[in-house]
Chain A
């Protein structure tokens, strides 16, 4: 459960760590977008080399990235298997009922595996080198132009920060209430289906009531300190866009050109 609190940020002192979170967020999403352009070995190799270069620059051990893949391995294998079984075309290697393993299916499966791993590496890099709060600031900053269509960027960012702050609080609270109800004789794992369903109620009611009370108190405390919403509000953590950030976006542009060239 500790993982839920810390996120996955690893403090460090590299070019990637010092980049503006906005640049990192945009680049990561952009990378995931252009990886769908890849359709042959050369383009995947290009993307792989680029990813390795960025990982090298971040000075984070490669082991952390492999660890990032491990929890998703079943999801990946599931996807790859589906792809292999349900793609048709090319030489048929194996055929049984509606299932057939074909040349196209195999290549597609391998490509999807590579795509998955690269996307995981890149998004792991983003979250390993950027603290959650910095990313929350970046999201607010990126979404701010959407205010034109009445998208509540400040509100979303506020809720996100409050949510991050409350993860440990609410986890403690859940644990505490579960223990308190256990002490009163509630059994969360025994009994019939209906009994198990009903056992959740004495957990949820105190949990929700206390969270409504907490919301009331926090709202009052914030207003008492002069919180008035996002308009005209200054920031405690100010984001600053540096030369390296522009350079990163230029690199992404160059990478796109290379990909378009390598594409079959």
Chain B
């Protein structure tokens, strides 16, 4: 098919919008609210190919940069990206690529889907921690105390969730994705 590239580009753009929309949702899951942002990134990575997943997150970040309030809780602008927590947003890029790559290289089973999502989530957290350390000139210990450990458990929980749902969708949508 001639328009395969174009179709893929449009799907990528649509996933960027999904990430933007899901960032505004939070599903109440007991004590830890599940913000849609990390979930949507994980889901995008599980469903799309590595390059497309990376681009979808990139477009999502660009939408934020040009002033659409797409980041969590209707934030937007360069200031969020360059702020202390901007590392988490940049980490999503790595997260999307790594997760998607791992899933592509393995069987898209529940085990590997969840595993890949957890690895991706760890990438986000490590990026965020390094960024916060450099941005605020903290020591490594205090950087990990503020940016890594408190988010570790919710992060893994969301990753398991995104991996589980993602693999179900991956299986059911595989026909539609390959077009």
Which A residues lie at the B interface, using CB under 8 A? 1, 3-4, 7-9, 28-29, 32, 68, 71-72, 75, 78-79, 82-83, 86-87, 112, 116, 119-120, 123-124, 126-128, 130, 132, 135-136, 139, 155-156, 158-160, 162-164, 166-167, 170-171, 174, 188-189, 193, 196-197, 200-201, 204-205, 207-209, 211-216, 218-220, 222-223, 227
**Extra inter-chain contacts (8) besides given A205-B172, A213-B176, CB under 8 Å:** A4-B21, A116-B79, A167-B20, A171-B21, A193-B30, A205-B169, A212-B177, A222-B6
- The answer to whether B82 and A219 touch across the interface, beta carbons within 8 angstroms, is no
Measured in the bound complex, the distance between the Cα atoms of B62 and A159 in whole Å is 10
Chain A binding site: helix, strand, loop or mixed by DSSP? helix
Contacts of B146 in A (CB 8 A): 82
- The answer to whether A132 and B67 touch across the interface, beta carbons within 8 angstroms, is yes
Kindly identify, within residues 27 to 74 of chain B, every residue whose CB is under 8 Å from any CB belonging to chain A.
27-30, 43, 47, 55, 58-60, 62-63, 65-70, 73-74
Least CB distance from B14 to A in Å reads 5
Contacts of A220 in B (CB 8 A): 3
Interface string of B75-87 (1 = CB under 8 A from A): 1111110111100
Least CB distance from A120 to B in Å reads 4
**With contact pairs A120-B79, A200-B165 given, residues A166 and B13 touching in the complex (Cβ less than 8 Å):** yes
Least CB distance from B139 to A in Å reads 7
**With contact pairs A71-B75, A201-B168, A212-B179 given, residues A7 and B13 touching in the complex (Cβ less than 8 Å):** no
Measured in the bound complex, the distance between the Cα atoms of B55 and A159 in whole Å is 9
Contacts of A112 in B (CB 8 A): 136
- The answer to whether B7 and A160 touch across the interface, beta carbons within 8 angstroms, is no
Interface residue? B138 (CB, 8 A): yes
Measured in the bound complex, the distance between the Cα atoms of B146 and A170 in whole Å is 35
Contacts of B24 in A (CB 8 A): 1, 4
**Which 4 A-B pairs give the minimum distances between C-beta atoms?**
A127-B67, A135-B66, A215-B10, A162-B13
Least CB distance from B27 to A in Å reads 6
- The answer to whether B67 and A193 touch across the interface, beta carbons within 8 angstroms, is no
Least CB distance from B39 to A in Å reads 9
